[in-house]
Structure 1
Amino acid sequence: MRDDAELTIEPRSSSETQQPSADARRDAAGEDANPPRREFKARGSFVERCDGCRLPVLNCLCPYRVTATSDAQVWLLTHPYEHNKPTNTGRLIADVLPLTQTFTWYRTAPEARLLELLADRRYVPFVVFPDDQPDYQHRVVDERAVIGAKQDGFIPVFILIDGTWRQARRIFRKSPYLDGLPVLPLHTDRLTRYRLRKPASASHLCTAEVAAELLRKTGDVTAASVLDDYFDAFNESYAASRFYHKLEKPNAAMQRLLDRRATGSTYA
């Protein structure tokens, strides 16, 4: 989740190829009852981008991609506006953790696959959301619940709402299938390192940063470190590309990723 206009996915799953109805698209847009008729062209939309990482080819991120495993999984509940935003960080989680699931949010048309997974007793899902309202305090848990689920032989799942803060609050409130799930707030002193948009507060982390912190706090330390490094590589590469600057040598995070790739193994 984040404050700015962007949060965040590449079309890796079949769910992203579905064609929702016009009513569903209007629902997802919230107050936008008359969506634009032409494709939105953001600044930089004509930049030549890598098909793999979506970054400008000037500083392609693909050489630094490293996969990792974790005891916990991440499911991204993504606002439809986020899928085509190249600065979205949710896709970084899917790059690092191959078991990540991505679902598009439509208020009146929840994906059947998501509902099936929520009913699967192998998983213990947690909705990651701030504990700042009294009406759902009875559902709020902390990281001990995640660790307990692991110890009991279940697969804990972090459901991350991938959108702006305004979109995230709407998704949280307008998704009945989330109502019975425990709410896991992230309490951390970490300040955002996201450089591609200006948040309302330095304490508002982007989606990839939230995932890395949750993984670290619940015991998946190596996966958290890999995701953190990959996020830093993304941050540096994208920021340089905005000024048409070619990075001549890897920064510290990039070098750690290159060293990991050199081992030729998935990090657990």
Structure 2
Amino acid sequence: MLDETGQADLADHAPETGHSQTPEAGHYHDPATGHSRPPRREFKARGSFTERCPGCNLPVLNCLCPYRVNAESEARVWLITHPLEHLKPTNTGRLIRDVLPDTEVFTWYRTVPDERLLALLDDPRFAPFVIFPDDQPDYADRVVDMAVVGEVKASGRTPVFILLDGTWRQARRIFRKSPYLDRLPVLPLATTRLTRYRLRKPASQAHLCTAEVAAELLRQSGDEHAAQVLDDYFDAFNVSYDASRRYEKLEQPTAAMRRLLACQGE
């Protein structure tokens, strides 16, 4: 949920079905739907020719796989991800899924919502909250605070944090153009935390990336261990990727990396 970069919107149309395409034909695999979809233009971002680890997608120079740790949490995270985010190796939504195995990832298309997402939204076991700022009056009646999450837990239901994974412009579009979200409570993240993300320039230091948002929500809702593991994994990702951009090999694990390694032995 960072920056304001404007790009051709692949999310206006649903993924094509009925035939498969190969990467050589210029298509990419949608990890959420399983469909193959052609990008509007060839993706050649800086670092696109870097040799990457197939496990963590980081440059092999500083692979993140040795520090991967699973954690349990009472709350769950569902990501509604803009298609362009799947193309970005700097996307932090994948870190949440690495740490929390129950994380769900859905690709957003404006015209055809994901049927599995719609089914889960109707599942009485879950109490979903859309994480979004409370800065507009037209949905003020839907805004709740973290105390409601505690009430949901007390009732025996599982709270779900729905994160809109994309730039701020894309996230606002997802929020406004997804009628199935209109009936859900809106939970703004109240925090004084400033971003530690080094890989994209935010419009404001108060704009946290997706993994940071998830960690703060987990911490505030009582899943402190999961929050710490995700925070440490995010820091390991941040440092490793930043060093790889400078073609610098990390010779010693950071404090966050050492905590993750310690968790693996527990």
Normalised by the length of structure 2, the TM-score is: 0.89
Residue matched to 1:131? 134
Deviation (angstroms), 1:2:
1.8
Residue matched to 1:92? 95
Number of aligned residues? 245
Residue matched to 1:55? 58
Asked if the contact 1:4–1:198 (Cα under 8 Å) also holds between the matched residues in 2, the reply is: no
**In the aligned structure 1, how far is the partner of 2:241 from the partner of 2:5?**
17
Asked if the contact 1:78–1:103 (Cα under 8 Å) also holds between the matched residues in 2, the reply is: yes
**CA 1:57 to 1:4, structure 2 compared with 1: closer, same or farther past 3 Å?**
farther
Residue matched to 2:237? 234
Residue matched to 2:34? 17
Deviation (angstroms), 1:40:
1.2
2:202 matches 1:199 = yes
Name the Cα RMSD after superposition. 1.8
2:48 matches 1:45 = yes
**In the aligned structure 2, how far is the partner of 1:97 from the partner of 1:142?**
23
Report 1:161-176 matches (<5 A). 161-176=164-179
Report 1:99-138 matches (<5 A). 99-138=102-141
Aligned with 2:211 (options 208, 215, 228): 208
Structure 1 spans left out of the alignment, 5+ residues: 26-34, 264-268
Could you say what secondary structure the match of 1:16 adopts?
coil
**In the aligned structure 2, how far is the partner of 1:92 from the partner of 1:12?**
17
**In the aligned structure 1, how far is the partner of 2:52 from the partner of 2:214?**
26
Deviation (angstroms), 1:124:
0.3
Aligned with 1:71 (options 66, 71, 74): 74
- Structure scoring higher RCO (CA < 8 A, sep ≥ 6) equals 1
Alignment identity in percent? Answer: 69
**In the aligned structure 2, how far is the partner of 1:12 from the partner of 1:215?**
27
**In the aligned structure 1, how far is the partner of 2:260 from the partner of 2:101?**
16
Normalised by the length of structure 1, the TM-score is: 0.88
**In the aligned structure 2, how far is the partner of 1:16 from the partner of 1:110?**
11
2:175 matches 1:158 = no
Residue matched to 2:23? none
Q: Deviations over 1:73-129 (max 9, x none)?
A: 000000000112110000000000000000000011101000000010100000000
Deviation (angstroms), 1:19:
4.5
Residue matched to 1:2? 2
**In the aligned structure 1, how far is the partner of 2:63 from the partner of 2:110?**
35
Residue matched to 2:19? none
Q: Give the letter for the 2:160 counterpart.
A: V
Q: Give the letter for the 1:16 counterpart.
A: T
**CA 1:134 to 1:176, structure 2 compared with 1: closer, same or farther past 3 Å?**
same
2:187 matches 1:184 = yes
Q: Give the letter for the 2:223 counterpart.
A: D
**In the aligned structure 1, how far is the partner of 2:160 from the partner of 2:5?**
26
Could you say what secondary structure the match of 2:87 adopts?
coil
Structure 2 spans left out of the alignment, 5+ residues: 7-28
Residue matched to 1:32? none
Deviating above 6 A after TM superposition, structure 1's stretches of 4 or more consecutive aligned residues are none
Could you say what secondary structure the match of 2:90 adopts?
coil
Deviation (angstroms), 1:41:
1.1
